[in-house]
Amino acid sequence: MHALTTVVGAVVIFAVLLDAFETVVLPRRVRRHFRITSWFYRASWPPFARLASLIRSQTRRETVLGYFGPLSLIALLGLWAGGLIFGFALLQQAAGEHFIAAAPGVKLSFPLLLYQSGETFFTLGYGDITPSSAFSRTLSVVESGMGFAFLGVVIGYLPTIYSSFSRREIEISLLDARAGSPPSAVELLTRAVGSLEQGGLDRLFADWERWAAEVLESHLSYPVLSFYRSQHSNQSWLGALTVVLDATALVIAGIENVSSEQARRTFKMARHAVVDLAQVVNARYDRNAPERLNSADLAKIRVRLAEKGLHLRSGIEIERKLIETRSLYEPYAQAVARNLFIVLPPWICDEPTRDNWRGGPWDRIIQARALGGVAVDRRPPVDDHF
């Protein structure tokens, strides 16, 4: 029995330490079928997301979903700490030879050993349960040192996570003025028309190529970032990635007088990101996923682009090329969106929308005062600004 307890305790401690190392320290995706972190998110995210999906308001729903990332990170750290405390308690039980200094008549039990392991891990040092053998004392020293190391991991891990999150959100915020709210590929291209001759579109695609690479690196190293929601309910990291892929797909398919060289490089990097991150969130292909771009929307896209002087080439070969390009990334983006309860942006917005930067809690009052009491803009302001 002591041998079995020792083996189980050692396995628990090793599994927790390995999982923490792979999650926090190892900068690459681990392909093992079972990991504590993967099991934790697969078990906690679906019920949380289903409960949040019952909320009708998109803004409130996104607010609730936004709690999951930070809360899950705290819960995961607590799970690791609890696993280490439990494992060391098993080893202490197998070691035996403890005495209770404060209450010598109390019988030693596993709950008391859990308490002793917890106070050792968090270095409380009450001294009411004291190990008396050399082996159990060594375990206490190792566990207390591990508690200090765990605290150091928490202190170093959280700022790294939020630094990566901030870098991701900067470009998403910049997309508001470049592609609208919610963003769309057509809006991104038409707003860049004025700077085509100066290479503005190529520079924009180059910036998003680097952003896609940073998102891929950070989300592979810290998968919890996939669950962190953006600041506005109509924006998301997946939505921004999809808009860039949509825009580059149109350029690659063939827009007259627009070079596709940089668009191809950006497409490759963004496609790489969405495919790898689909595996991170355990997304699965769905044959019955709705079509994002039908023939009617494609015709509207041609008209909208033509109004701004951009002419999407026509013909069966062009449409086939666009379909083939979309098939390289759309199934992955739709699978990730379904898993994370993210709404993908449309290819083209049928109704005019107001950018986030135009919204504010005082807009109606200010407009009414400026126009003598008559407010002309009856669309609601962006609701998650206040």
Are residues 149 and 6 located together in one domain of the fold? yes
Q: Give residue 84's pLDDT.
A: 94
Alpha-carbon torsion 102, 103, 109, 115, what sign? negative
Upper half-sphere CA count for residue 336 (Cβ side, 13 Å): 23
Are residues 273 and 250 located together in one domain of the fold? yes
Q: Considering 118, 134, 155, which residue would you say is the last residue of a domain?
A: 155
Q: Give residue 48's pLDDT.
A: 94
Are residues 310 and 184 located together in one domain of the fold? yes
Are residues 315 and 287 located together in one domain of the fold? yes
Are residues 351 and 364 located together in one domain of the fold? no
Q: Averaged in consecutive runs of 10 residues, what is the pLDDT profile of the chain (386 residues)?
A: 84 91 73 76 91 88 91 92 93 78 72 89 81 84 89 83 90 85 88 71 92 92 90 87 95 89 95 92 86 90 90 89 94 94 88 71 72 53 41
Residue 278 Cα distances to 219, 271, 331, angstroms = 11, 11, 10
CATH code for position 128: 1.10.287.70
Q: pTM value?
A: 0.83
Summarised one tens digit per residue, pLDDT across range 141-181 is 999 999 888 888 888 888 888 899 999 998 888 888 888 88
3-state DSSP of the chain: CHHHHHHHHHHHHHHHHHHHHHHHHCCCCCCCCCCHHHHHHHHHHHHHHHHHHCCCCHHHHHHHHHHHHHHHHHHHHHHHHHHHHHHHHHHHHHHCCEEECCCCCCCCCHHHHHHHHHHHHCCCCCCCEEECCHHHHHHHHHHHHHHHHHHHHHHHHHHHHHHHHHHHHHHHHHHHHHHCCCCCHHHHHHHCHHHCCCCHHHHHHHHHHHHHHHHHHHHHHCHHHHHCCCCCCCCCHHHHHHHHHHHHHHHHHHECCCCCHHHHHHHHHHHHHHHHHHHHCCCCCCCCCCCCCCHHHHHHHHHHHHHCCCCECCCHHHHHHHHHHHHCCHHHHHHHHHHHCCCCCCCCCCCCCCCHHHCCCCHHHHHHHHCCCCCCCCCCCCHHHC
Are residues 196 and 252 located together in one domain of the fold? yes
Full domain range(s) for residue 347: 161-357
Q: Give residue 256's pLDDT.
A: 87
Are residues 129 and 252 located together in one domain of the fold? no
The residue behind tokens 């950070």 is 218
- Nearest in space to 374 (alpha carbons), one of 361, 362, 364: 364
Q: Give residue 196's pLDDT.
A: 61
Are residues 74 and 216 located together in one domain of the fold? no
Q: Give residue 381's pLDDT.
A: 45
Are residues 318 and 363 located together in one domain of the fold? no
Spatial separation of the C-alpha atoms in residues 31 and 144, rounded to whole Å: 31
Spatial separation of the C-alpha atoms in residues 132 and 114, rounded to whole Å: 17
Count of the separate structural domains present in the chain: 3
Are residues 308 and 186 located together in one domain of the fold? yes
Q: Considering 129, 155, 181, which residue would you say is the last residue of a domain?
A: 155
Are residues 168 and 136 located together in one domain of the fold? no
Q: Give residue 205's pLDDT.
A: 93
Are residues 218 and 343 located together in one domain of the fold? yes
